[in-house]
Amino acid sequence: MLKGLTRAGLGTIGSDEQFLKLASDAGFDSVDLSARALIEQYGEQGAIELLQRYNLRLGSIDLPVEWRADEEAFLAGLPALTEAAAAARKLGCTRCCTYVLPSTDQKSAHFMALATRRLRLCAQILGAYGIRLGLEFVGPHHLRTAWKHPFIWTMQETLDWIDAIGEPNVGLLLDAYHWHTNSLTVADLENLKPHQIVHVHLNDAKDLPVEQILDNDRIYPGEGIIDLPGFLSALHRIGYADFVSQEILTPSTPTESPEELVQRSKNGYEKVFAAAGL
Amino acid sequence: MLKGLTRAGLGTIGSDEQFLKLASDAGFDSVDLSARALIEQYGEQGAIELLQRYNLRLGSIDLPVEWRADEEAFLAGLPALTEAAAAARKLGCTRCCTYVLPSTDQKSAHFMALATRRLRLCAQILGAYGIRLGLEFVGPHHLRTAWKHPFIWTMQETLDWIDAIGEPNVGLLLDAYHWHTNSLTVADLENLKPHQIVHVHLNDAKDLPVEQILDNDRIYPGEGIIDLPGFLSALHRIGYADFVSQEILTPSTPTESPEELVQRSKNGYEKVFAAAGL
Amino acid sequence: MLKGLTRAGLGTIGSDEQFLKLASDAGFDSVDLSARALIEQYGEQGAIELLQRYNLRLGSIDLPVEWRADEEAFLAGLPALTEAAAAARKLGCTRCCTYVLPSTDQKSAHFMALATRRLRLCAQILGAYGIRLGLEFVGPHHLRTAWKHPFIWTMQETLDWIDAIGEPNVGLLLDAYHWHTNSLTVADLENLKPHQIVHVHLNDAKDLPVEQILDNDRIYPGEGIIDLPGFLSALHRIGYADFVSQEILTPSTPTESPEELVQRSKNGYEKVFAAAGL
Amino acid sequence: MLKGLTRAGLGTIGSDEQFLKLASDAGFDSVDLSARALIEQYGEQGAIELLQRYNLRLGSIDLPVEWRADEEAFLAGLPALTEAAAAARKLGCTRCCTYVLPSTDQKSAHFMALATRRLRLCAQILGAYGIRLGLEFVGPHHLRTAWKHPFIWTMQETLDWIDAIGEPNVGLLLDAYHWHTNSLTVADLENLKPHQIVHVHLNDAKDLPVEQILDNDRIYPGEGIIDLPGFLSALHRIGYADFVSQEILTPSTPTESPEELVQRSKNGYEKVFAAAGL
């Protein structure tokens, strides 16, 4: 598996190049950031060279389309999606992800129909560029009632939704936090095929009853109670060999320096990967 | 438009041939019944001749697949669907319909995902046989809370769902009762294109506040308060020229003879079509 | 039906506004041009006002994607497609068309597979903006061997291809010239449903054996041998009520003034529509 | 990888149970046969017990649909497809395969459109039952001109076709004979992802120039000139861990006893798997 970083959890880093340098210095294999922004800043050739210089790959870009609001907002994002996909392709990035909130102010069934159509189109466009779309189910219990109507939050619901979307390039973004807050087990992971997983997020949870765990209160891998060795070794066992990106959502920006935070992340990764026998 | 009958509302008729004879004697253009059952009873050639003898066309068959329950029940119906579609094709029937209950005991969003996948497959199979699939939204208010969670019941939701299903041969089954219980207007119909409408049901409602109208308490066209002339003339204006089938769901089987009930239906049709200027 | 003009056959007109003025002065209902270019020149509001001032609608835009060459060229066109579709939507245009050459230098079956995938994606993107995609089969015999391998050129092949593409918003662009050079009949048109036709081109052919008719040697409606009254009345009979755009491809630019050429077009339209009883 | 047998190359075996016994005695892991026929002979429970008794899995069923001829023949096969898929599912078989002839008497591009639509529907139906569809490209040169028009025969063309079909459950049936007769290399296999491969056929070729190799002149693994160790080790390297079924098409039925032929097959498998380091 490839160890990766997102900016989430690393404090105030500054430029993308600084982010790349930090990740590279700490021995990470990949970063998740906007390919399009990288090319806009450094040019296509410059961006490619930057990634080569720091020996980093791009794990995933974020889906730059507002598929949760109204139709005008959705359509307004499609030109940017084609540009984002073209940029990702130029930088060898083949993954694009979005998260699925577990409740909604819209009528659930109707919103599911709208979202199915919208995400299918996103997947179709991404597929033309050789990019897969990862859907992240979101487990924390408080979000299930944060908006008026329940939507979906379990892995099985998300797999069923992926079937309903029906495109070959759609799969899961599997986040350890949501695996934990859904009370999923190692056996649940072992039922997956590796190509059902588009991307993986790594982070840890405080020692709280699962119902009390907040979405933006995550901690560094190895510092909490999630069975990350079980999580990682199960992924390895089923043949998943791709990116595992840290994403630490916190209530406020950490005050340590990015260097300290990256080091902490590195230590966490080493600890849990070692415990997983990887 | 072609005037059609279903058995619903005609009492206890007996054989399919008796149903055909009744419909024919009263001057109707079509009947809705199972093409497969007709062929099983009379043979393919016999069924064709029967329809010719009575100068009737088959309007629509019912979708013979349980798409609302679990996956096993759904799969168990697919062989029958291919047989039903093949039979419909042999008898020149190009429509197949199913209704959508406005609430469900399953989680709404998840059920929408499952139902989208299932009805898409039904549409794909039907499409191979040149048959369109009509989805009937169901308006009565009491059914919106008859099961645990709200599903969908409006025309717009259903159109959005048809888009999510994404197959070219899916459209609306437009039932005057559900048009009325959704408080829809002539203008709502005028926004439709004729090919969005797969089939039409005709019937009337008692003079009750719309919130109190029960689904299985329908009456004969022209005997109630639905603006059927407005309904029919709007359909004509947008270019709809296909079947309009009577479907009278009642709390108990009518006690009049089928002959009397068909005559009553005929009178109702003549009245509302005349009032519509058709 | 709505009478429309393309620039093809009108000589050297100058600006889009001049084109609009010419079309309007001659009483045409619509023009086919690039919605995106119109908005780029006059602004969104300016373009809308221009169309209102001249009482014209936009019939169809051209598909701005190179789907016949290699994959890079195809992908390079997708951002422009989203922009073109967004522009068309802003101006109320719901049609986009492309032509299908009847032979190809690529292996036929393989190219069909590639083109199916590419045009499906174009249709999917256009569909999100409420735009239909029209595929124009191209009949002239000389083009069937102009490249190494035969592709498709008949209406039936194109309808079968539309089924293979499988999107609800794809249909035919029906060009009278290709109807004629395919030796199609009025009965062939009568077998169509109106929603299978996305757009119509009108023009005429010289009095030559059908095998000798050249694609870019077209003449004005009513000046040649095509049974345009039969063509138009059949379209009317099946319920087609949308745009009919003139497209006169000629070996060299006509020398008459645009005013004369538009008048000639107007006379041609009046003649053949009158002969069709429309 | 799982070692499997088809009946092709084993002479005249007799009943399915004898086939299972032969395969089991020789230590094979799987057989390819009709799940539906097995259930029809032995009952569902009997068929399950038979497979358990002989410790065998079902590798793949054949697609029981005529997709290469006319539409009536295609439609006539769909009920059988649903029955075959239901039977396969009952016996835990998740693969269904068909071969693609490299030339055709139909116009190539048109046939590609028809075949795309037909195989998409087959894939959609199979997918509902959790079954994948494998398409076998066919390499022998003599078949490329055996019918009027070239169709497709390369792995890349087939992958592009799979993209055009566009369903998540379609992939390659990779046959060592067609890999060889297409002059493909180990590197070509290494470019594949394991989930792109639905099924694998193993057999060997005589020492002839590749252009002269006949499709039905195959020999047992390890007795010919195909680099089967390279073939198998490449599949292992990319992570393919599923069925590898022998299929020996010969000009006439072998005269040796099935016992001798299965032993010969076993020896061949052992030889080439050992040479592949597996």
Nearest to C109 among D108, D163, D166 (CB): D108
The set of residues, in sequence order, having a beta carbon less than 8 Å from that of D231 and lying 6+ positions away, is D176, D179, D186, D189, D276
Using CB atoms within 10 Å of the CB of residue B130, give its burial: 0 to 12 exposed, 13 to 18 middle, 19+ buried: middle
Q: Which site among D78, D118, D129 would you substitute to test the B interface, given the most B Cβ atoms closer than 10 Å to its Cβ?
A: D78
**D75 vs B78, B79, B128: nearest CB:** B128
Band (A132; pLDDT cuts 50, 70, 90): very high
C125 with A78: Cβ contact below 8 A: yes
Nearest to B239 among C166, C168, C239 (CB): C239
Locate B276 and state its tokens. 């519509």
The verdict on a CB contact (< 8 Å) between B160 and A120 is no
Nearest chain B Cα to A159, which residue? B113
Nearest alpha carbon to residue C266 among C56, C39, C28: C28
Residues of chain A contacting residue B121, judged by C-beta atoms under 8 Å apart = none
Give the tens place of pLDDT for each residue, C147-165.
Answer: 999 999 999 999 999 999 9
Which residue is closest to A111 within chain B, CA to CA? Answer: B109
Q: Which residue from A minimizes the CA distance to C124?
A: A121
Reported confidence tier of residue A155, pLDDT bands at 50, 70, 90: very high
User: What confidence score (pLDDT) does residue D132 get?
Assistant: 98
- Residue length of chain A: 278
Among partner residues C109, C114, C151, which is closest to D151 by beta-carbon distance? C109
Nearest residue in B to C170, CA atom: B168
Q: Strand, helix or coil at A244?
A: strand
Measured between beta carbons, the chain B residues lying within 8 angstroms of D74 are 128
Contact residues on chain C for B195, CB-CB shorter than 8 A: 193-195
Residue identified by tokens 């000389």 is C142
Segment A168-172 shows an average pLDDT of 98
> Which two tokens mark A229?
């060795």
State the average pLDDT over residues B112-125.
Answer: 98
pLDDT tens, A54-85?
A: 999 999 999 999 999 999 999 999 999 999 99
> What residues in chain B have their Cβ under 8 A from chain D's Cβ atoms?
74-76, 78-79, 81-83, 86, 89, 121, 124-125, 127-129
Contact B116 A116 (CB under 8 A): yes
Instruction: Give chain B's mean pLDDT.
Output: 97
Number of domains in chain C: 1
By Cβ distance, the residue of C74, C75, C129 closest to A75 is C129
Write out chain D residues lying below 8 Å of B76, CB-based.
Answer: 86
Residues C95-118: tens digit of each pLDDT:
999 999 999 999 999 999 999 999
| D235: its two tokens | 């599949």
Instruction: State pLDDT tens for residues B221-264.
Output: 999 999 999 999 999 999 999 999 999 999 999 999 999 999 99
Q: Do C164 and D116 touch (CB under 8 A)?
A: yes
pLDDT, tens only, B199-213:
999 999 999 999 999
User: Which residues of D fall within a CB distance of 8 Å from A195?
Assistant: 193-195
Q: If DSSP states are collapsed to H, E and C, what string results for chain C?
A: CEEEECCCCCCCCCCHHHHHHHHHHCCCCEECCCHHHHHHHHHHHHHHHHHHHCCCEECCEECCCCCCCCHHHHHHCHHHHHHHHHHHHHCCCCEEEEEECCEECCCHHHHHHHHHHHHHHHHHHHHHCCCEEEEEECCCHHHHHCCCEECCCCHHHHHHHHHHHCCCCEEEEEEHHHHHHCCCCHHHHHCCCHHHEEEEEECECCCCCHHHCCCCCCECCCCCCCCHHHHHHHHHHHCCCCEEEECCCCCCCCCCCHHHHHHHHHHHHHHHHHHCCC
Q: Provide the domain limits for residue D148.
A: 2-275
Q: Which residues of A touch C78 (CB under 8 A)?
A: 82, 86, 125, 128
Residues C48, C91: contact at Cβ < 8 Å? yes
Query: Rounded to whole angstroms, how far apart are CA atoms A187 and C101?
Result: 54
Which pLDDT belongs to residue C167?
Answer: 98
- Confidence grade of residue B54 (pLDDT, cut at 50, 70, 90): very high
Residue D270, pLDDT score? 98
Mean pLDDT within C33-62: 98
Nearest-Cα distance to chain B for A61, in Å, is 25
Confidence of residue B131 (pLDDT cuts 50, 70, 90): very high
The CATH number linked to C139 is 3.20.20.150
* Cα nearest neighbour of B117 on chain D: D128
At residue B153, the pLDDT reads: 98
Note the pTM of the prediction, 2 decimals.
0.97
- What one-letter code names the amino acid at A232? L
Mean predicted confidence (pLDDT) in B155-168: 98
| Pairing mode, strands C243-246 and B95-100 | unpaired
Task: For the beta carbon of residue B77, count every other beta carbon within 10 angstroms.
Answer: 19
Q: What CA–CA distance (Å, rounded) separates C185 from D273?
A: 63
How far from chain centre, in Å, is Cα C86?
20
CB D86 within 8 A of CB C128: no
User: Could you tell me which chain C residue has the CA closest to the CA of B127?
Assistant: C163
Q: Which residues of D touch B74 (CB under 8 A)?
A: 128
% residues pLDDT > 90 (chain A): 99
User: Is there a contact between D75 and B86 if contact means CB atoms under 8 Å apart?
Assistant: yes
Closest of D190, D150, D172, D176 to residue D228, by C-alpha? D176
Largest CA distance in chain D: 49
Q: Could you tell me the pLDDT band of residue B62, with boundaries at 50, 70 and 90?
A: very high
Q: What's residue C174's pLDDT?
A: 98
User: Which of D78, D120, D128 has its CB closest to that of B75?
Assistant: D128
Q: Which residues of chain D have pLDDT under 70?
A: none
Return the pLDDT at B63.
98
How many B/C residue pairs have CB atoms within 8 Å? 17
Say which of B167, B194, B239 has its CB closest to residue C168.
B167
Residue with tokens 């066309």: B57
3-state secondary structure of A177: helix
Of all helices (H) and strands (E), which one includes residue B228? helix B228-237
What does R_g of chain B's alpha carbons equal in angstroms?
18
